[in-house]
Amino acid sequence: MAQFFKPKPKLKPRQSIQNLTVSALDHQGRGVVRHEQRAYFVANTLPGERIDAILQKPPQAQLKHRHNDSPARVDPPCPYYGRCGGCDLQHLTINDQREHKDQVVSELLQKFAQLQPQQWATPLAGEPWQYRQRTRLACHWHKRERKLTLGLRAQQSHDIVQLQQCPVLSEPLAALLPELSQLLNKLHLAATLGHVELLAAPHPIVLLRLTTPVIEQDRDQLLEWQHAQESVAIWLQHHDNQVAPLAESSPLPLYQVHSRELSFTPGDFIQANSGLNEAMVTQALEWLDPQPQDRILELFAGTGNFTLAMAAAAASVLAVEGDSRMTMQLQRNARQAGITNISALSADLNSTWWAPELLMGSFDKVLLDPARAGAQQALTELLKLPNRPQRIVYVSCAPDTFARDARLLAEAGYQLQHCGIVDMFPQTHHIETMACFEAH
């Protein structure tokens, strides 16, 4: 058969546009400019700044030159600023970051739910730097150079920026970065490493996500390094998801909230900002206001961060969590604290409720703290129960899914009484929100 030559469609040359004015920040902290009636998002720019930008696939554009500085601009202190995708708002003063986050939540609530709270809460805020007690580092093995890159994803890219320091990491974790990279580069497992998680709870923990079994030689080197450190423990997460300490004697890590100790297995979810976690749990208790006769339902409970504190003031708590290891740990944490009015259930909250504890239960108050996907299904199921809870406290790490879910509650007759941000991730565009809904 005859073959016809078909030229590839020519790529449009990237257009460089001069003198655009940044009019606002979008929900991901990027400056918004308009060109030919189209909006483009430009990272590292602020409202009021005039810029030259290279237009990419809409709505992306890249900063080429900035003609002036917004009064809200500060010098970003991180040496990886502009390359690392981590702290994308560090050029904005911390107060302006918080104001921006408040505004994002307000706009999304208006857009998706036509809703505003009766009262905006003052943002819960803590240390702007060195606040992270947990981070996940990405790995890439360069076959030809036989070299491991360990760091965070670059801006708008899958590349990894090798980190020697990180100003938002708690000091003991940041101090590990250079040595850890050196150590891992010497090991056979570097070629197949999935990722590395760093935790400070209370002492540093390095969790290595393995995709192949660890060989004896690597194990010996890891043990030797661990031995030479002051209270750093290495844990291994194997390809079958089992997690175990490298040295059998390592105890489970733990953190404190409301004067109670909560243990967890490395790899389990814990709040990334320990300083603010305490304030967040306190505000959740104030808003939920558990009374001795209250039966509380908690959804997305983790290992009991809110559960134990709520149970101490209420008649009972049913805590639902999708990860069975975490559910069992929650039960152990409750026992350890001498709290007996908690029952824990492992269930997928993204599917139809089937468990009799949920379907037959009658709950006065609900607290939920879902992952970024939000809780649409869980709230739909909750609203089908014959007895609706009087009060719902929603803790969210994604303002868009929160606004969507808020609409569901508003349509079911709940009023949004309080809402406010928790500045859990300063220097980044990520937004944690808390809200309290009351049945009419």
Ligand X SMILES: C[S@@+](CC[C@H](N)C(=O)[O-])C[C@H]1O[C@@H](n2cnc3c(N)ncnc32)[C@H](O)[C@@H]1O
Element (H, E) at 257: strand 254-257
Residue 41 binds to ligand X (criterion: CB under 6 A): no
DSSP 12: P
Distance CA 177, CA 422 (A): 28
Closest residue by Cα to residue 390 from 371, 370, 417, 369 = 417
- The three-state (H, E, C) secondary structure of 206-244, written as one string: EEEECCCCCCHHHHHHHHHHHHHCCCCEEEEECCCCCEE
Least Å from the CB of residue 118 to ligand X? 25
Name the one range near ligand X by CB under 6 A: 86-94, 316-324, 357-365, 413-421.
316-324
Least Å from the CB of residue 301 to ligand X? 5
Cα torsion angle, 273, 276, 282, 288, sign: negative
Name the one range near ligand X by CB under 6 A: 5-13, 14-22, 147-155, 348-356.
348-356
Q: Which is nearer to ligand X, 232 or 284 (CB)?
A: 284
Residue 271, annotated as binding a ligand: yes
Helix axes 216-228, 177-185, angle to 10 degrees: 160
Q: Are 205 and 187 in contact (CB under 8 A)?
A: no
Alpha helices in 186-321 (DSSP H): 216-228, 274-288, 307-311
| Residues 268-297: x where in contact with ligand X by CB under 6 A, - otherwise, as a string | -xxx--------------------------
The letter for the amino acid at 248 is E
Residue 424 binds to ligand X (criterion: CB under 6 A): no
- Judged by CB under 6 A, the residue of 87, 349, 382, 434 near ligand X is 349
**Cα–Cα separations (whole angstroms), residue 417 to 137, 410, 434, 438:** 38, 11, 11, 7
Q: Which is nearer to ligand X, 150 or 349 (CB)?
A: 349
| Residues 386-405: x where in contact with ligand X by CB under 6 A, - otherwise, as a string | -----------x--------
Phi, psi dihedral angles at 131 (to 5 degrees): -100, -15
Distance CA 124, CA 277 (A): 10
Tokens (6 digits) for 253: 């890590």
- Non-local (6+) Cβ contacts of 180 within 8 A are 150, 196, 206
Q: Which is nearer to ligand X, 376 or 390 (CB)?
A: 376
Residue 357 binds to ligand X (criterion: CB under 6 A): no
Least Å from the CB of residue 71 to ligand X? 36
Which residues, in sequence order, are bridge partners of residue 296?
317, 365
- Non-local (6+) Cβ contacts of 339 within 8 A are 308, 311, 312
Q: Which is nearer to ligand X, 232 or 382 (CB)?
A: 382
Q: Which is nearer to ligand X, 218 or 321 (CB)?
A: 321
Q: Which is nearer to ligand X, 370 or 389 (CB)?
A: 370
Three-state DSSP state, 365 = strand
- Judged by CB under 6 A, the residue of 24, 154, 371, 383 near ligand X is 371
Least Å from the CB of residue 305 to ligand X? 3
Residue 348 binds to ligand X (criterion: CB under 6 A): yes
**Burial label, 213 (beta-carbon count in 10 A; 0-12, 13-18, 19+):** exposed
Number of residues that bind ligand X (CB under 6 A): 19
Closest residue by Cα to residue 177 from 238, 135, 209 = 135
- Judged by CB under 6 A, the residue of 253, 322, 389, 426 near ligand X is 322
Closest residue by Cα to residue 131 from 281, 279, 272 = 272
Q: Which is nearer to ligand X, 53 or 397 (CB)?
A: 397
Residue 62 binds to ligand X (criterion: CB under 6 A): no
Residue 283, annotated as binding a ligand: no
Residue 70 binds to ligand X (criterion: CB under 6 A): no
Residue 321, annotated as binding a ligand: yes
Name the one range near ligand X by CB under 6 A: 197-205, 244-252, 265-273, 333-341.
265-273
Name the one range near ligand X by CB under 6 A: 80-88, 101-109, 226-234, 266-274.
266-274
Residue 229, annotated as binding a ligand: no
Residue 302 binds to ligand X (criterion: CB under 6 A): yes
Residue 300 binds to ligand X (criterion: CB under 6 A): yes
Active site (catalytic) residues: 397
Closest residue by Cα to residue 391 from 428, 418, 364 = 364
Residue 305 binds to ligand X (criterion: CB under 6 A): yes
- Judged by CB under 6 A, the residue of 369, 381, 423, 432 near ligand X is 369
Q: Which is nearer to ligand X, 369 or 405 (CB)?
A: 369
Tokens (6 digits) for 164: 């020697």
- Binding site per annotation, positions for S-adenosyl-L-methionine: 271, 300, 321, 369
The binding site consists of 271, 300, 321, 369
Binding site for ligand X (CB under 6 A): 269-271, 300-302, 305-306, 321-323, 326, 348-350, 369-371, 397
